[in-house]
Amino acid sequence: MSTVRVLVGTRKGAFILTSDGTRKRWNISGPLFAGWEIYHLNASPADPNRLYASQSSGWFGQQIQRSNDGGQTWEPMGNQFSYDGVIGTHQWYDGTPRPWEFKRVWHLEPSLTDPDTVYAGVEDAALFRSHDGGQTWQELPALRSVKGQLWQPGAGGMCLHTIVLDPSHAERIFIAISAAGVFRTDDAGKTWRPMNRGLKSPYELPDPDAEVGHCVHRIAIHRSRPNVLFMQKHWDVMRSDDGGESWHEVSGNLPTDFGFPIAVHAHEPETIYVVPIKSDSEHFPPDGKLRVYRSRTGGHEWEALTQGLPQRDCYVNVLRDAMAVDALDTCGVYFGTTGGQVYASADAGDSWTPIVRDLPAVVSVEVETLP
């Protein structure tokens, strides 16, 4: 029977939650790296036992950890992330120039085909790549040359938080930055283009046609249809049907279109999930009701999924990297909250159960489906 492994990063360590394919009984292991912030754990699609973790601390800086045995043992890898060439400046919150300064790794995305190749999205925003399993890191510097002087930090910092590798086009990568927007390379990072046409940010940017500067919170694709992208922006849920060349809004009947994560069903490319949050100044669910919203039509029409989720007095947030799906026949959906709960649905969102209730604030959730 299949096994599901849920990789959870929290403010104070990492946890690995495992279950068989019924997803009814869970084993909780951890905390790993206790006391450290774990922004992200992720697994190599080419070798499911090869895991990478981003471990950081305000005291002791950044570490990258690697496991070759599914998370049972870990070894520190290289932690030197040096920007390539002239450092340059981006915008600070008040619009003044500020030099790039490395702070932490937000997101690790292993190659689809090579366990030793892994990408790292960092704050201040840049993309790094390792070809030796995380021992050494090299920046892909052309990205920051795409109007990098106009990028600015979102409330969480100026982070490169999303890396989407196109399974049908080996050299195409999408990345997203708060607050710069979406960028795409078609030549493995040698050149990049901003892909933000159609995004509207009237309260954040004075230029209605700004090419960069948009606060994109998360993008997602379905592997079978990588030209269709879904986006949770600061405000607005967006969709692109042309590989990011243009975007249109699909927020439809959502109670609020602010939020952080967005995920796509493993087998239904038009079924997507978001967690609406009240506003940019009140980062909790509207009316104290934790509701996942599902659209089976690729947006516009949304239904609230509430069964098993708290429907009163709930004021947690769900962060951008904290939602994922498994690949079992009935798709499982998972998300973690800043209140330390990890919820799972074994029926594509119809009903939910907390796997664990009292972890530190959850920053990231990834899921592996193992044979």
Binding site for another protein (CB under 8 A): 34-36, 57-63, 76, 79-80, 82
Quote the least distance from Cβ 61 to another protein, whole Å. 5
- Nearest CB to another protein, comparing residues 60 and 92: 60
Quote the least distance from Cβ 37 to another protein, whole Å. 11
- Report yes or no: 274 and 254 within 8 Å, Cβ to Cβ: yes
- Nearest CB to another protein, comparing residues 32 and 216: 32
Tally of CB atoms within 10 A around 329: 9
- Nearest CB to another protein, comparing residues 65 and 341: 65
Quote the least distance from Cβ 54 to another protein, whole Å. 14
For CA atoms 313, 319, 320, 325, give the dihedral sign.
negative
- Nearest CB to another protein, comparing residues 126 and 305: 126
Quote the least distance from Cβ 76 to another protein, whole Å. 4
Quote the least distance from Cβ 264 to another protein, whole Å. 37
Beta carbons within 8 Å of 186's beta carbon, 6+ residues apart: 169, 171, 172
- Nearest CB to another protein, comparing residues 36 and 247: 36
- Nearest CB to another protein, comparing residues 66 and 278: 66
- Nearest CB to another protein, comparing residues 35 and 225: 35
Quote the least distance from Cβ 316 to another protein, whole Å. 22
